[in-house]
Amino acid sequence: MGLLTIGAFAKASGLSPKALRLYDQLGLLTPARVDPVTGYRLYAPEQLDQARLVAWLRRLGMPLARIQHVCTLEAGAAAQEVRAFWAQVEADTATRRDLATFLIGHLSWKDAAVSPTAKPLGIRYAALSDAGLVRESNQDTAYAGSRLLAVADGFGRSGAPASAAAIDALKRLETDSIPAGNLLNVLEDAIEQANQAVHGVAETDPSPQEVGTTLTAMLWTGSQLALVHIGDSRAYLLRDGDLFQITHDHTMVQSMVDEGRLSPEEATSHPQRSLLIRALAGGGEVTPDMRLHDAQPGDRYLLCSDGLSTVVPTEEVRHVVTMVSDPEQAVRELVALANQSGGPDNVSCVIADVLELQQ
C-alpha cells in the first residue's frame, strides 16, 4: 500500500485533518512525506497504529505533551503511564465528587430551629497527644472542644510550632457564629489562615521548604460534622459496630495503591509510606478534602495521627473504640497501644461521641 492522503489517513485513524495538521506542527505525528509542490501531507500505513493511539489518548483527555511522552515509550511503559494518568483522573474526580457531596449537603441544610419531633444532639470528647518512645520531641497537636476536633502532625525542624499554629488558626471556629449559608466559605477561609500561619512558622526556620503539617479537623454544627482533611492523619467513624475510615491519605504510597502499583499490604511496609503529596506547607494552593457527615446518636468519631494508624492494626483500634465507652479512657488506651508497639512516632488521638441531649 502506498502513502495515504491526509483525508484517507484521517478517516482510517479517527483523527480529523485539522488535528493531524496540529500534531504535525507539534512534532507529535509527522507526515511520512510532504509534497514539495502542493504541500499536501502524506502518511505511511505503518503510522496508523500511533495515530490511533493518539486518538484514543485524546479521548481519555490526556494532554498533548503527555501523549507525546507516551508515544516515545515501549508498550509496557506506555501502559504504565496510561494507568498512572487514569488513576490521577479518578483521584481528581473523587476530590470533585467529595466537594459536590459537600455542596449538596451544604446547600440542602437549613439553619432553622430543630423540629419539635427531633431530639437535640451534642458531643462528648477527649484528646491526647504523646511523644512516643523514640522521638525526642512531640510535633503533633491534638485538640477537642465543644465545636472543634482536630489533629495535626508537623514535620521539619519546626514541625511542632507548625502543627500548633494550624490548629490555633481554627480555634476561632469554636466561638464564631456560622450561618449555614456561609459554612463552606468559613471553612475555606479558616484553612487558608491555617496555611498562612504555617507559612509564618516556616519563614523563621533555616529550611522553610521542609516545614509543614497535616491537618484533619471536624467542626460540629449541632446536627452535622463538617470534615476538613489534608495529609495523612486520619478520621474514622464507628457506626453500628463497624469502623470506617472516612479520609483518604494524601501520600505517595497511597497514590501508588490507587494506581494499582502497590497492594495495600505492600503499602504498610513501604519505605516511603510517610512521603506526603499534600499538606499545609505555607506555600501554593491548598486543596483539602471537605465533606459533611450527618450525625446519629451513638456515632463515635476518631481522629488520629499516623503514629497510631501505621503502628496499631486496625482491628485493635476498632476493639478499643468499640469496647471502651469513656472517651478519656479510650484515647489513653489507644496511645498506650502505640507505645506498646514500640512508639516509633508521636501519636495523637481525638474521640468524640454523638449523644442525645436531655431536654
* Span 115-154, pLDDT tens digits: 444 578 899 999 999 999 999 999 999 999 999 999 999 9
Tens digit of each residue's pLDDT (9 = 90 or more) over 8-54: 999 888 888 988 988 888 888 999 999 888 888 999 999 999 999 99
Neighbouring C-beta atoms of residue 97, cutoff 10 Å: 12
Q: What is the pLDDT of residue 283?
A: 64
Tens digit of each residue's pLDDT (9 = 90 or more) over 59-117: 888 888 889 899 889 988 999 989 888 888 877 777 677 667 666 665 665 443 334 44
**Inter-helix orientation angle 183-203/159-170, to 10°:** 150
d(CA 27, CA 23): 6
Residue tagged 468559613 (cell numbers): 186
Burial of 104 (0-12, 13-18, 19+ CB in 10 A): exposed
- Taking CA atoms, 168 is separated from 150, 290, 326, 334, in Å, by 10, 19, 26, 24
Q: What is the mean pLDDT of the chain?
A: 87
Give the length of the chain: 359
Name the grid cell of 78.
506506555
Cβ-contact 327, 111 below 8 angstroms: no
